[in-house]
């Protein structure tokens, strides 16, 4: 399925306690979040017949992990709207590029906002903590809200 951009296969029971012996489980996502049911059906229909006797395959939508950002941003009045727009686009692109089960880095939040045109960024948090956010296997990060809505923009 062309929309399947991010895939994660559970290697064993130790890494995924919900795994079933003999079953290959793959989590799937596109650049925006969990993969749609139609694409999952295409993947399952293609791979399941190719499995050996006693083995099964299941492609599932990745579990969405809502990422909420917080912090204070200093901007000029003239660049506020363009900085918010650029930050929202860059943050969505960053989250859309992370591998399933990866790490959302707090420093990237600051860098995205600064690159968008902010003068300063302070007090940043991801999901209420001033640290990176580690996803579990099969999780895909999705924005909890736009940075325009979740950050405190000041000038």
CA distance 132 to 145: 18
Q: In DSSP terms, which residues pair with 29 in a beta bridge?
A: 6, 34
pLDDT at 71 exceeding the cut of 70: yes
CA dist 74 to 9, 31, 126, 129, Å?
42, 30, 19, 21
How confident is the model over 69-93, as a mean pLDDT? 96
CA distance 126 to 73: 15
pLDDT computed for residue 15 by the predictor: 60
Burial class (CB in 10 A: 0-12, 13-18, 19+), 134: exposed
CB 58, CB 23: distance < 8 Å: yes
pLDDT computed for residue 19 by the predictor: 67
Entry pTM: 0.85
């Amino acid at each position: 399925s062309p929309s399947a951009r991010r895939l994660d296969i559970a290697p064993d029971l130790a890494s995924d306690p919900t795994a079933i012996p003999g079953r290959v489980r793959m989590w799937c996502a596109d650049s925006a979040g969990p993969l749609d049911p139609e694409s999952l059906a295409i993947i399952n229909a293609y791979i399941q017949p190719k499995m050996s006797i006693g083995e099964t395959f299941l492609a599932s939508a990745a579990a969405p992990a809502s990422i909420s950002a917080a912090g204070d941003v200093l901007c000029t009045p003239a660049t506020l709207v363009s900085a918010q727009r650029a930050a929202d686009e860059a943050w969505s692109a960053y989250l859309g590029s992370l591998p399933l089960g990866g790490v959302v880095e707090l420093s990237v939040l600051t860098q995205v906002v600064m690159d968008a045109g902010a003068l300063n960024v302070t007090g940043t948090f991801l999901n209420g903590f001033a640290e990176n956010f580690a996803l579990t296997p099969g999780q895909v990060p999705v924005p909890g809200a736009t940075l325009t809505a979740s950050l405190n923009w000041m000038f």
